[in-house]
Amino acid sequence: MSEPRPQQPRPTESTPPETFAQPWEARSDVRITDVRAIVTAPEGIPLVVIKIETSDDGLHGLGCATFTQRWQAVVAYLEHVRRLLIGRYPGDIEDLLRLVRFSAYWREGPVGNNVLSGVDMALWDIAGKRAGAPVYELFGGRVRAAADVYLHAGGSTVEETADEARELMASGLRHVRIQTGQPGIGHYGAPPTADRYTWAKTPTGWRAEEYLRRTPALFARMRETLGEEVELLHDVHSRLTPKTAVLLARSLEEYRPFFLEDVLAPEFWDRLPAVRDASPVPIAVGELATSASDAARLIRTHAVDFIRCHLSDIGGVTAGRRLAVLADLEGVRTAWHSPGDASPVAVAAAVALDVTSPAFGIQEGHVYNEATHEIFPGMIDIVDGWLTPSDAPGWGVEIDERAAARFPAGFSGHDAWAAGVRAPDGALVAP
């Protein structure tokens, strides 16, 4: 990893301070005094946390703005947003979010919506702390005790995947995502096999035909080995065409997948309604949505059975709450994206939505290392396959900035991986 970069001077402020002053009289004199980004990578995955500080001594909020692959752009974007927030009353969450979103003129994309997400979560954290209550109570309180979780099992062979799945089930998991390898680094969620395509221009290339052959065999073996009680999930990672997505879904019907994730790339989402109609198994999509508007279209057009967004990329929990309400009205369930590139703050936010929304379906989980626990005291852990929200005010998660500084972020390793994901003829494949 690279050494921490020195702080760059902030842009010169030439706008009169009254331009962004509080637009109406607030019921309290508490004001935002600073907004800054904290970047850390305790697992080698850059995480971006926005911290909003206030005029009340010790009162601050944390929000996740993680865009692992382009985290430096998020940090730079925050400098443009900072002056919009300083001096404002933190309780006007909706107005502040609209200001951040609309002021850039161009909107509805990553980076800007990552910053919006971090600001959103941090303001809700402050709201909970001021109320002396967990954020989920501000959302109306629980409709369930905890969120059921799935974790990932992936091996270079089917047997290795089965071994990992059995370990997860032994720890209390009732839902397991299964992936297995094939030649090359291109396959997703599992290490590669030792095989090579000796005839290919790229011997370690990713081949759709091989994937379509191996995946039904994976499911058949998992059902034989693990039994019928466990729910099995699988991530296609946006690699198929509309027709081959339907072929895969039909080939897996007898093994009863809980869902197939990201069967099509975003460029082909207009075809998703037809794919979902033809699929005998549930379809989960939304990880690559970069705005709440994109995600809402997936729900409104009946393109998905599960909506599965990265809350740190679509506008935060305010956007997530709207999507959950829409999903409930349309008979769609939520499955928020939350692997290692979601910070523990984002996990707390996702679980607050999970336990307050009737549309909840399943929650993706991640087992964080000890360093992450040190950096984020109060973070919630998976216990017996459940994530239970903290009863502490706000999100219940803090950040130890001194510990965070020990794990500086470098460039994401995703770039190097993506550069090697090629077809047997050498053409790049969308990762």
Using one digit for the tens of pLDDT, what is the confidence trace for 218-254? 999 999 999 999 999 999 999 899 999 999 999 999 9
Share of the chain above pLDDT 70, in %: 96
Confidence of residue 184 (pLDDT cuts 50, 70, 90): confident
Residue 29 has a pLDDT of: 96
Which helix H or strand E contains 314, and what residues bound it?
helix 311-314
- Rounded Cα distance, 400 and 416, in Å: 30
- DSSP-derived secondary structure for 31-83: -EEEEEEEEE-TTSS-EEEEEEEESSTT-EEEEE---GGGHHHHHHHHHHHHH
**Residue 1 confidence (pLDDT) above 60:** no
Catalytic, out of 60, 152, 234, 237 = 237
As assigned by CATH, the class of the 138-393 domain is alpha beta
DSSP 8-state symbol, 285: E
Task: Mark residue 141 as left, alpha or beta (left: phi above 0; alpha: psi -120 to 50; beta: remaining).
Answer: left
Neighbours of 40 (CB within 10 A): 25
188 annotated active-site: yes
Residue 46 has a pLDDT of: 97
Task: Flag the least confident range among 45-49, 100-104, 153-157, 426-430.
Answer: 426-430
**Predicted structure pTM score:** 0.94
Catalytic, out of 77, 89, 136, 188 = 188
**Mean pLDDT, the chain, whole residue set:** 94
pLDDT digits (tens, 9 = 90+) for 100-153: 999 999 988 999 999 999 999 999 999 999 999 999 999 999 999 999 999 999
**Residue 360 confidence (pLDDT) above 70:** yes
Residue 18 has a pLDDT of: 67
Q: How far is CA 332 from CA 106, 148, 287, 357, in A?
A: 30, 17, 15, 12
Domain boundaries, the chain: 138-393
237 annotated active-site: yes
Closest CA to 207 of 233, 171, 181: 181
Check if the beta carbon of residue 128 is closer than 8 Å to that of residue 134. yes
Confidence of residue 390 (pLDDT cuts 50, 70, 90): very high
**Residue 12 confidence (pLDDT) above 70:** no
pLDDT digits (tens, 9 = 90+) for 271-306: 999 999 999 999 999 999 999 999 999 999 999 999
